[in-house]
Structure 1
Amino acid sequence: MIRIHCCHDSKTYLFKYSNSTGDARERVTKVKDSFIFEYPCDSISKCEPYVIQFPKGSYEIELWGSSGGSGRENNSPVLCEKSGGNGSYVKGHLHLKTFSKFYLYLGSQGEDQSKTDEYSIPAKGGWNFGGDGGIDKNSTKFKPTSQSGAGGGGSVDLRNEYIDINSAAIDQSILTKSLKSRIMVAGSGGGAVSDTNRNGLPGRKLFASNNGEYMFGGTQTSGELGIGKNGIDSDKNQGGSGGCGSGYRGCYHNFPLDLTTLSAYEYGGSGGSSYISGHPGCISPHYPSTAAADEFTPFHESHFYFTNTLMRSGDESMPDPFHDNSIIGHYGHGVCRIRFLFDPYCQTHFIIFPHYFSFSIYMILFCLVSE
């Protein structure tokens, strides 16, 4: 167990976690009245959420979606850097009347397209349900086969129901309950491929873009809730598609299985959509998929909602989470920044409970606020 006590002053405190491989990096950084949370694991396929306990007060919360993995140049070993779709950005002010606990799931970046000597191994989707890249199991154009897709980015969200998504057998009812408890989600980018439509598409705002006739971005009502679909595989030299980006609703596809044209499936994955409870145009998860957005649909059934909301797609200008400038979309693992909207005298405890190959991180904020 590691504890770091942070008082409200000009110092910056770094939180370090050593995983089972012995590697250590800064995971949480305190800068003035803000905390920056970074992806806390070294594996992109197995991680745990942060558990954040907020006292009564007002907070600005920002999320940056993760990016999809990159493809390789003309199915060669040369990587096309940053060709996966970038993550989106969401922001809002959360006003809490009572002590409240939330779970922060920072999805990871999708894995890059497999190398030519690893063509039969699908590129992994990012943790928190990014879709795996598709593979071509029987290429006649390239020897060895490398017509595969990169993994899609994992979703980035704040929710109030925990679930261990590392389990081999996930209870679907518990998973659905947890996914429906999300009150803020940043859509993540799709994985790239190597052909003409090589780039993965970005995570977007209310509606993510389609890539071609059969690859669809998540929206407020279409796409699986919180899950990006795996890329399509082929065994007749049609190629493999990029993995879908996850988000509020993940990317999905419906390629006809009788398409036999060379490289017919080589499309970059689309991105996932975003959601903020209280943001105009959003449709909360307790509404049916046939619902149309109105003045009531944005508000989550938990009654937690945000004001002063903002969304930016992964191909638009957004704040840099680490510097005082702007970026076009977010590249890398998911990030969260939380800022106090009051001037507290705050003591913060960071507590880690390691257990076997996973862990839980608790951030408990005890703040004295003058009323």
Structure 2
Amino acid sequence: MSPAPRKILHVDMDAFYASVEQRDDPSLRGRPVVVAWRGARSVVCAASYEARVFGVRSAMPAVRAERLCPEAVFVPPDFMRYKAVSRRVREIFARHTDLIEPLSLDEAYLDVTTTKTDLPSATATAEAIRDAIRDELQLTASAGIAPNKFLAKIASDWRKPDGQFVIRPHQVDAFLLPLPVGRLPGVGKVMEAKLAELGIATVGELRAHGQRELEQRFGRWGRRLHELSHGLDDHPVQPERPSLQVSAEDTFEHDLPLDALEPHIRRLADKTWAGYRREPGRLARTVVLKLKTSDFRILTRSLTPARPPASAEELADVACRLRSRVELPARTRYRLVGVGLGGLVAADVDDAQAPLFASGGGGAA
């Protein structure tokens, strides 16, 4: 006998950052709100539904959002406040299940195959969660209910905002086959164009091509496409794991040469160190320097020293030295820099492995 299908929820807060701003400032309600810093380098973090009517979307350059919606109210993001609200949302989730996989501050997967409550169904559980979010936090969320994660994520978008949609196991084909292939996770504009060259526009047409042909054309990704076209996704909900890296980064108003980055690296090292101190009982072994060039090329350089940094100053010193491992021409300009501490492990694990690192050294990535 095959195992009973899972019951998976994907809960997605509606225009989360913008909705928090509108909740906390009544003068913003009903107005097009764009959460972003103003300026040529800024991007939109979130847009209220009133702003979305004008075509404003997350990750859009802020200057374009301003052109699309001149009446928009720009609000600088307050991530500490959003994180605090997100924690309260997750407390509501935890009343129903311990199997919670956060994807970001505003969305998560929940496995509610078995729950802590006596609610009769996954649909009822989703309703109870959304009701609690509305009553306790004065915010709205949308939910998708399905036998697996990828279908639940598609379903949560189906009746946004403030709605929910269920795909039962016997309804998978009827729901999935007419969908455009662009609705499948991982199928972006480039892959959509490649599939269009094969005459594939819908999930049903994708399924008709068969696994062997898709694998021959797209390798392992072809096999995954075949699985998705059949509604298959065996990935379990993975509860949140401890952070493996703490980092901070910044985008400059004007591109800078490599030798002008030191003050920014030291400032970001201070921020990273402050975040690291909020990880009690965990030790970081690797220093990471991240750079983005003016043409959007991303580089990382890392070093695992014999002794982990003991202060923000030591972290900054190592990060600054990592610039010597950047082998691009001196004329190269950089639009972003980041400093991170990676390889976080429990302190007792690090103590046990200390002999492995006693000889020092490190690597660059």
Q: Which TM-score band (shorter chain)?
A: under 0.3
Asked which structure has the greater CA Rg, the reply is 2
Give TM-score, length-normalised by structure 2. Answer: 0.24
Greater fraction of residues in helix: 2
Asked which structure has the greater RCO (Cα within 8 Å, sep 6+), the reply is: 1
Greater fraction of residues in strand: 1
